[in-house]
Amino acid sequence: MEHPTSINLLSKLIPQIASDINDINPPSCRTVARWINKYQSSSQNKLCLQNKHSGNRSLRFSPEIYQILNQAINEIYLKPEYRSGKDVLAYMLGRFMEQGIPLEQLPTLRSIQRHIKKLDPYIEFKMKKGSRIAKKKFQAAGKSIISPFALYMVEIDTHYLDLIVIDPKTKLALGRPFLACAIDIYSRAIVGTYINMYPPSAATTLEVIKDMITRPNQKLPGGIPSIVIPDNGVEFKNNALERVCEQLKITLTPSQVGTPNNKPHIERFFSTLTHGIIQKLPGTTFSNPTNRGEYNSSKIAQLTLEQLKQYIDTWIHEVYHRSIHHTTGRSPIIMWQDAIEDIRPSFLTDIDAKILCRRPIERSINHGQVRVDGISYFSHALTTLQAKGIKKVTVLIDDLNLNEVFIIDPDKKDVIIQADSTNQDYTFRLTRITHLEVQKLKKIQSRSDKQKIGPMSDLYYLYKLMHEIQTNLVRRKPRLKPLTLELPKQLQRIEEQLFSKDKDIVEQPASTINVPTPINQFGSLEVFKHGKI
């Protein structure tokens, strides 16, 4: 090219080249001409066209001052407490005066702030907030969890609902309930729920699993999954859950503590539930005090726990399951129904699940009875086992109903023995948390009081506990709030038992033994009630 810097030539070439390389801001003809001259004068060295970095090319301060600056940042700024550039400057000023360094060499606040800004954001956040929170903030979203078919993978978690429920009898506020929930990752259908006032525990976890594996009996989405991703809370670190999963061939893959991203689908559902129904009901606490404002949740609360259950179930089945999911592009219920056309999910009957989803504990047989937490359970079949020389058996306990237990026959694993409480009046719908509180009340009573009350002491102290809870004991002991749900029917029933004209507290014997009943079936297991094996 004879005249490469010709303006006429460049004015034609620049638009053409810009179009070829999709450059929306092409350089001017004079700029390109200057580049050509620079390239030719440097013996066609391409590096000459590289932009030279502007700014200082030497240290602004001496190495000693940089050493003090770095020390100030490490010891002052990178601490959990709130610190700013001014705190670093104050520290450096003190060091300068101690070492006799002229204050004219002290960096300005702006220089210190620029130096702090160059810190690695991850390192800064890690030093201030901790390693786990830093990883959570700066980690990438990661791979999506892929579930190839329905019930291949299920996430389970517990959520503290933003709503206050009331006592159906006293109309007083009880507090916020918990929702334990299971979601099928493939279809996004809800396959198990359990709403209660009890915080996450082994008992509530087993309840949501029990609901999940029996739902097909009610024509609802559910069944036995292949993999369960549980919350890594204390409720999943127990042999009860491990035993259930081992029996049903379920693989447990617990998530890491404090990493909700490992359960994104159930966390997202809780958010949808909160904004879709919970925060629209009277008595909602909203997400935080700022959003709540002057809204008095306790006074406005109108719903009982049973009413809330009905609202949530209706919303899940009629709204959530029928809405188009933004990720799958289909409604969860339609996707679920299509998925189970070829392969029907496995499930258990209600009685099977009732026996399986319990806490196992080993106990000794004594006179045809086993004793758990001070409650005796009897069965004639236990006498037969004891006669065979069997001293210890595995007892299956439901912590939410202590009225009966199931016992595994050590010789015949396919035989389940039902043992009933020897004090049916006391254990009727009795939960373990209530029973333990009753025992605490009994311990503080004098021996003479216990003798005066006689064999009805457990029932009497249960009545006393219920009465104290009803008279605002809950406000002093928030952990007793779940017990208030048992008040209306329990208190009335106990009063009838204790103060009936036909009964006397001192002379009333223990509850009579039930007559034998037919054998129940647990799949291939036979359940014996009071009958000999």
What's the first-to-final CA gap in the chain, in angstroms? 108
Give the pLDDT confidence of 77-87 residue by residue, as tens digits. 988 888 899 99
pLDDT over 50 at 483, yes or no: yes
pLDDT over 80 at 478, yes or no: no
**pLDDT: which is higher, 137 or 487:** 137
Band of the pLDDT at 58, cuts 50, 70, 90? low
Q: What is the mean pLDDT of the chain?
A: 80
The average pLDDT across 124-146 equals 69
Give the pLDDT confidence of 260-298 residue by residue, as tens digits. 556 889 999 999 999 999 999 999 998 777 777 778 888
pLDDT of residue 444: 73
**pLDDT: which is higher, 82 or 52:** 82
pLDDT of residue 507: 41
Q: Are 463 and 494 in contact (CB under 8 A)?
A: yes
Give the pLDDT confidence of 249-259 residue by residue, as tens digits. 998 887 655 55
pLDDT of residue 492: 54
CB hemisphere CA count around 247 (13 angstroms): 20
3-class SS of residue 501: coil
Instruction: Encode 22-64 in three state secondary structure.
Output: CCCCCCCHHHHHHHHHHHHHCCCCHHHHCCCCCCCCCCCCCHH
Question: Which residues, 6+ apart, have CB-to-CB distance to 57 below 8 Å?
Answer: none
Band of the pLDDT at 321, cuts 50, 70, 90? very high
Give the pLDDT confidence of 337-377 residue by residue, as tens digits. 999 988 889 999 999 999 999 989 999 999 999 999 999 99
3-class SS of residue 418: strand
Kindly state the percentage of the chain with pLDDT values over 70.
75
pLDDT of residue 518: 38
**pLDDT: which is higher, 365 or 521:** 365
φ/ψ (deg, to 5) at 528: -95, 130
pLDDT of residue 519: 36
pLDDT of residue 238: 60
**pLDDT: which is higher, 71 or 507:** 71
**pLDDT: which is higher, 131 or 8:** 8
Q: b/e for 312-323, b at 16 or more Cβ within 10 A? A: beebbeeebbee
pLDDT of residue 191: 97
Q: Are 370 and 393 in contact (CB under 8 A)?
A: yes
Band of the pLDDT at 225, cuts 50, 70, 90? very high
Residue with structure tokens 């502007």? 54
